[in-house]
Amino acid sequence: MTTTVSSESALPLPEFDQYAGSYADYLDDPLRGRFASDPLHFHRRKWMLIQSMLKRADMDPARSRWLDVGCGQGSLLEVAGKHFSHASGCDPSAGMLSSCASFSVRAQASPVALPYEDHSVDFVTSVCVYHHVHGEDRTLLTSEIRRVLAPGGLYCIVEHNPWNPATQIIVGRCAVDVDAELLSAPSAGRLLEASGFELLRTSYFLYLPEKLFSRFGAMESALERVPLGGQYALLGRAPA
Ligand SMILES: C[S@@+](CC[C@H](N)C(=O)[O-])C[C@H]1O[C@@H](n2cnc3c(N)ncnc32)[C@H](O)[C@@H]1O
């Protein structure tokens, strides 16, 4: 594991350091548990969606360098990392990163600066990150993501959908989300476009609980334009 630790010790500790030791317990919720008994289901489902988006956008993961911004404990990297030529993650919380044993991860010294070279990756994800980023920092983080992406590179934002009532209930009572400011897919799309990305696709997902998804998963694809899924994913392309 590559961990770059901030030298600015006067800064407050990153918010998620306080949750890192018992993160799974903090996420535990009866409604969420009824939706999927295995928390990895959510990450597998995201990877299925991301895979189909990359295919449509003509990007081959096996030939692409992927960076997961705000990777937390690295669950998506665990599920999908092996499909990329290189997979890495970063997060302001060194506590969260301490669980990412098998991937190259770096701590962000600032919430709006990424410890990577210009144009050094082909694909970036940020999963459930923006609702913890506030005000102008959202724009600064998005511009920073564009900086590290190669020309024509792809960026996928996954977020909670504020228009889904179950999502609102779960977020409303989750201690980790005490500061959460959910953003709708159209707001996330405007954020992408303001940083120069071309918005390629918006897909809503997480309509069906895990048990039904295994039998009727195709139904979710049919509903991807209906803005009521538990979460949504947006795909943008950086200028060539
Ligand atoms: C809800 S967790 C999601 C973690 C992971 N992406 C996942 O889906 O399991 C939010 C993560 O975003 C990180 N985060 C908060 N602000 C950030 C920022 N400005 N840049 C990158 N990551 C940030 C937090 O430290 C935390 O690990």
Question: Does the structure show a pLDDT above 60 at 7?
Answer: no
- Take atom 19 of ligand 1 and give the residue whose Cα is closest: 111
The answer to whether residue 3 scores a pLDDT higher than 90 is no
Give the pocket of ligand 1 (CB within 6 Å).
Answer: 14, 16, 69-72, 75-76, 91-93, 96, 108, 111, 127-129, 132-133, 141
Q: What is the 3-state secondary structure (H, E, C) of 44-87?
A: HHHHHHHHHHHHHCCCCHHHCEEEEECCCCCHHHHHHHHHCCEE
- Top-tier CATH class for 17-237: alpha beta
**Above 80 in pLDDT, residue 6?**
no
**∠123-238-3 over CA atoms, to 5°?**
40
Main-chain dihedrals φ then ψ at residue 233, nearest 5 degrees: -125, 140
List pLDDT tens digits, range 176-206.
999 999 999 999 999 999 999 999 999 999 9
Residue 11 pLDDT = 61
56 CA → ligand 1 middle, Å: 27
List strands edge to edge, sheet with 231-237.
104-107, 86-91, 65-69, 121-127, 149-160, 231-237, 198-205
- For residue 70, the CA-to-ligand 1 centroid distance in Å is 4
Instruction: Report how far apart, in Å, the C-alpha atoms of 76 and of each of 72, 139, 158, 179 are.
Output: 9, 24, 12, 23
3-state SS assignment for residue 232: strand
pLDDT of residue 105: 97
**Spatial CA neighbour of 68 closest among 88, 50, 85, 51:** 88
pLDDT bin (cut points 50, 70, 90) of residue 10 is low
Q: What is the mean pLDDT of the chain?
A: 93
Give residue 8's pLDDT.
Answer: 42
Residue 102 has pLDDT above 90, yes or no: no
CB atoms within 10 A of CB 99: 17
Rounded to an integer, what distance in angstroms lies between the CA atom of residue 234 and that of residue 238?
A: 13
Residue 5 has pLDDT above 80, yes or no: no
Whole-angstrom distance, CA of residue 129 vs CA of residue 29:
19
Helix (H) or strand (E) holding 42: helix 40-56
Distance CA 205, CA 98 (A): 30
Residues linked to residue 186 through DSSP beta bridges, in sequence order? none
**Tokens read off for 112:** 């709006």
- What digits encode the pLDDT tens for the residues 33-89? 888 888 899 999 999 999 999 999 999 999 999 999 999 999 999 999 999 999 999
H runs (alpha helix) in the chain: 23-27, 30-35, 40-56, 75-80, 94-97, 137-148, 165-172, 185-194, 210-222
Which amino acid would we find at residue 12? P
Among 27-36, 110-119, 155-164, 201-210, the least confident range: 27-36
Q: Beta strand 198-205 with 231-237: parallel, antiparallel or unpaired?
A: antiparallel
Residue to mutate, 91, 96, 98, 141, ligand 1, most ligand atoms under 8 Å from C-beta: 91
Give yes or no for a contact between 79 and 98, defined as CB atoms under 8 angstroms apart. no
Give yes or no for residue 1 having a pLDDT over 60. Answer: no
**Helix %, strand %, coil % of the chain (to 5):** 40, 20, 35
- What is residue 4's predicted lDDT score, i.e. its pLDDT? 37
